[in-house]
Structure 1
Amino acid sequence: MPDLFDTIGPKEGPTPERAGPRPLADRMRPESLDEVIGQDHLLGPEGSLRAMLDAGTLPSLILWGPPGVGKTTIAQLLAKETDLAFVQISAIFTGVPELRKVFEAAQLRHRNGKGTLLFVDEIHRFNKAQQDGFLPHMERGTIVLVGATTENPSFELNSALLSRAQVLVLNRLEPRDLERIMSRAEKKMGRALPVTAEARDLLVGMADGDGRALLNLLEQAFGWEGGPVDPAGLEKRLSRTAPKYDKSGDAHYNLISALHKSVRGSDPDAALYWFARMLEGGEDPRYLARRITRMAVEDIGLADPQAQAHCLSAWETYERLGSPEGELALANALVYLALAPKSNAVYSAYKSARRLAKETGSTPPPKHILNAPTGLMKDQGYGAGYAYDHDAPDAFSGQDYFPDELPRPVLYLPPDRGFERELKKRVEYFARLRVKRKEDGGAA
């Protein structure tokens, strides 16, 4: 069930009755946890939060989920279930002086034998010092903290705070959940929505998993006069909800991950879908061009040496054409990458080489491959014994170019795919030749 209102300052106790008109979303607020829709994995018979309540314990919690799925509502009902005073603040509008007052009131309440459930909306917006301020009050039991966030707590919250709270993930509402909310709203209003069955489905799509957004749309629809409104009429009367996409938040990283993995998984349809989702959400196509080029380097590599060139060409085309025409060039590159042979052999070899470089520190190159521009350096053996490969049979001397103290490693292991099938043959050819040169008395 959705969060039904936003709190600007501290709020304590149940929502007071208001004489004026109340929004439908406010009137639809659940009266008990059993009425909350869409979070059965937490509140159902086998749910983790239900188990905590049945055991008579309520630890501090972080409720992580998208907007409109019930974070505020659940926090209020938890306070009701556990007989705790409910205090709500928003991290957007609350500073240190306000927090100090909240903690002082909770301490007084605690001394009088009453606990406090402190609900902090947008808790990820508090800085480190502010987050640390909760810790002593949580440890002394002055407050049970329930924080709500739409961002990944692993990235946005202090480890000290996370170690003292349990993270509960709230799910985006499914179409069936939104249908249940619509049915409840119709029962509450005492009449059916004045829309066709097809328009009803469209309303679910417009809500995009957000129960609060759905109730706001329904409130408008209930006010319409006349016969049932069809999808075309619905779109004229209502604006579609903007896709939930924050270019610096979780949605950004989740969608680019989905795009990258679709390309890696050789699925051009899925790649185009996630590409379109990001563009619809307002992502900068230049960012996508950079990431698409990275995919060519990381996941295709030398299995198709043309892949990188395709991406750079598409990037340049976008820069010349701009949006929306240039986005098609990026789509072309994306499909090419999805269908190209895949290899991370060079990427893996590069990472192995970096690890080996760190482990071997400042180990010098062997002297035979060092230049000797001065007499002193020649006297020290620089360049002595170097075999000029162009003078060797097959232009290959077979010498060892690793440090003397380092046994020769094998870093690049090309797969038998794409162009790297040919490169694998070359690697094996030079490996055989290196053995032969060594047998012949070479410097390998």
Structure 2
Amino acid sequence: MYQPLADKIRPKTLDDVVGQRHLLGENGLLRRVIESGSIPNLIFYGPSGVGKTTVASIIAQQTDRKLYHLNATTAGIADIKAIIDELDTFLAPNGALVYLDEIQYFNKKQQQSLLEFIETGKITLIASTTENPYFYIYNAILSRCTVFEFKPVEAADMRRAVERALKLAMGEDAKPVEDGVADYIAQAVGGDVRKALGAVELLVSGAGADGITLADAQQAAQRSNMRYDRDGDSHYDILSALQKSVRGSD
């Protein structure tokens, strides 16, 4: 069965996670919460490919709890109830962490239905969203969760992930890698680790006689340094930046 490179090298410990040092560094609050073993209900907010799912998996491993991964675009309250039915069985002896990806796609009624399970303590909820949770998640959920913001991964940290991925993907059949490939990918993917690993996988599978070239990398990792959305946070951030630049100009 085919396994994407991003899954093959998914970090197993907090020290292996690239980026998010403000949360997971030596004195980061989220790190200290995880290491305490007492996990509250959490909301992870940030762009795609920055480690939200990975950190949820590490929390489950370190607290010896089963992780149920649901996506709000396809899941419903019936899926949550099915998880509850398993909790008193051998399948989840230490309780369960429910990772609900893209929670903003749950409507108000669905989000309110989560309260029943959160308040009884039967599940620990870790929800993720790429949208501002204070606009898209209802107050009753927000008041029972702690929000942590994940940021795009900086290029210096991204390079570590790219080099590790190149080494693993090539295996023993190592092919030459032109200078600048790792740096280009790290800069070009806009802080998205998943996109970087996808580019590495494409380059390795399509490597020619000359190995992996910078020209190939420039095609595989099309530049996406600027994040923009039509009506989300980035839209207003860019408008604010434009307004400030005009105000400060002559």
Fold in common (TM above 0.5): yes
User: Given residue 230 of structure 2, which amino acid in structure 1 is its aligned partner?
Assistant: K
Determine whether 1:40 maps to 2:21.
Answer: yes
How many angstroms does 1:97 deviate by?
2.8
Matched with 1:198 is 180
d(CA) in 2 for partners of 1:260, 1:198: 36
Greater relative contact order (CA < 8 Å, ≥ 6 in sequence): 2
CA contact (8 A) 2:68 2:96 kept: yes
Evaluate the alpha carbon distance shift between residue 60 and residue 233 of structure 1 in structure 2; reply closer, same or farther with a 3 A threshold: closer
May I ask how many residue pairs the two structures share in their alignment? 245
Distance in 1 between the 2:9 and 2:138 partners? Answer: 35
Gaps of at least 5 residues in structure 1 are 1-19, 267-337, 340-444
Give, in angstroms, the shift of residue 101 of structure 1.
2.2
* Cα 1:256–1:36 shift into 2, 3 Å: same
Aligned partner of 2:113 among 121, 133, 143: 133
Structure 1's 249 and 176: CA in aligned 2 closer, same or farther, altered over 3 A? same
| Coordinate RMSD, CA, aligned | 2.2
Show the counterpart of 2:208.
Answer: 225
Secondary structure of the structure 1 residue equivalent to 2:180: helix
The aligned residue for residue 92 of structure 1 is 73
SS at 2:34 equivalent: helix
2:129 is matched with 149
Q: Match of 1:240?
A: 222
The answer to which structure has the higher strand fraction is 2
Instruction: State the Cα distance separating 1:196 from its structure 2 match.
Output: 2.4
- Equivalent residues of 2:204, 2:212 under 8 A apart: no
- AA aligned to 1:262 is S
Separation of aligned partners in 1, 2:64 and 2:242: 46
Residue 51 of structure 1: aligned partner: 32
Corresponding letter in the other structure for 2:47: P
* Partners of 1:194 and 1:222 within 8 A in 2: no
Match of 1:166 in 2: 146
- Shift in alpha-carbon separation, 1:252–1:174, aligned structure 2, 3 A: same
Q: 1:190 to 1:215 in 2, by over 3 A?
A: same
Q: Which residue of 2 aligns with 1:364?
A: none
* CA spacing shift, 1:193–1:176, aligned 2, 3 Å: farther
Rounded to whole Å, the distance in 2 between the matches of 1:244 and 1:194 is: 32
Q: What SS is found at the alignment partner of 1:197?
A: coil
Per-residue CA deviation, residues 320-351 of structure 1 (Å, 9 max, x unaligned), is xxxxxxxxxxxxxxxxxx32xxxxxxxxxxxx
CA–CA distance in structure 2, aligned partners of residues 193 and 252 of structure 1: 42
Distance 1:153 1:109, change over 3 A: farther
**Following the alignment from structure 2 to structure 1, what is the Cα–Cα distance between the partners of residues 160 and 24?**
17
| Gapped regions of structure 2 (runs ≥ 5) | none
Q: Which residue number in structure 2 is paired with residue 259 of structure 1?
A: 242
How do residues 170-189 of structure 1 correspond to structure 2 at under 5 angstroms? 170-188=150-168, 189=170
CA distance in 1, matches of 2:108, 2:246: 37
Q: In the alignment, what sits opposite 2:2?
A: 21
Return closer, same or farther for 1:133/1:179 CA change in 2, 3 Å cut-off: same
Shift in CA distance, 113/232, structure 1 to aligned 2, threshold 3 Å: closer
Equivalent position amino acid for 2:62 in 1: E
Over alpha carbons, which structure has the higher Rg? 1
Distance 2:217 2:196 in 1: 13
What whole-Å deviation, never above 9, does each CA across 1:57-87 have from its counterpart, x for those lacking one? 1101001111101111110110111111110
Q: How does 1:346-357 map to 2 (within 5 A)?
A: none
**Could you say if the C-alpha distance between residues 193 and 31 of structure 1 is closer, same or farther in structure 2, counting changes exceeding 3 Å?**
farther
Change (3 A) 1:240 1:136: same
Q: Could you tell me how far apart the structure 2 residues matched to 1:49 and 1:254 are? A: 26
- Deviation string 1:99-124 (CA, Å, 9 cap, x unpaired) is 33233334x359x8531100000011
More helix per residue: 1 or 2?
1
1:96 CA drift (Å) = 3.4
Deviation at 1:50?
Answer: 1.8
Matches of 2:195 and 2:142 in 1, distance apart?
Answer: 30
**Contact 1:25 1:216 (8 Å CA) reproduced:** yes
User: Which AA in structure 2 matches 1:226?
Assistant: A
Q: TM-score, normalised by structure 1?
A: 0.52
Q: CA deviation at 1:33?
A: 2.1
Does the CA-based 8 Å contact 2:42-2:126 persist in structure 1? yes
Superimposed CA distance per residue, residues 258-313 of structure 1 (whole angstroms, 9 cap, x where no aligned partner): 2222222x1xxxxxxxxxxxxxxxxxxxxxxxxxxxxxxxxxxxxxxxxxxxxxxx
Change in CA separation of 1:217 and 1:116 when aligned onto 2, cut-off 3 Å: same
Q: Is the 8 A contact 2:5 2:197 kept in 1?
A: yes
Question: How far apart are the structure 2 equivalents of 1:248 and 1:216?
Answer: 27
TM-score (norm 2): 0.89
SS at match of 1:137: helix
Q: Which amino acid aligns with 1:123?
A: I
Contact 1:109–1:115 (Cα < 8 Å) also in 2? no
Name the structure 2 match of 1:207. Answer: 189
Residues 48, 94 of structure 1: alpha-carbon distance in 2 compared, 3 angstrom cutoff: same
SS in 2 for 1:89: strand
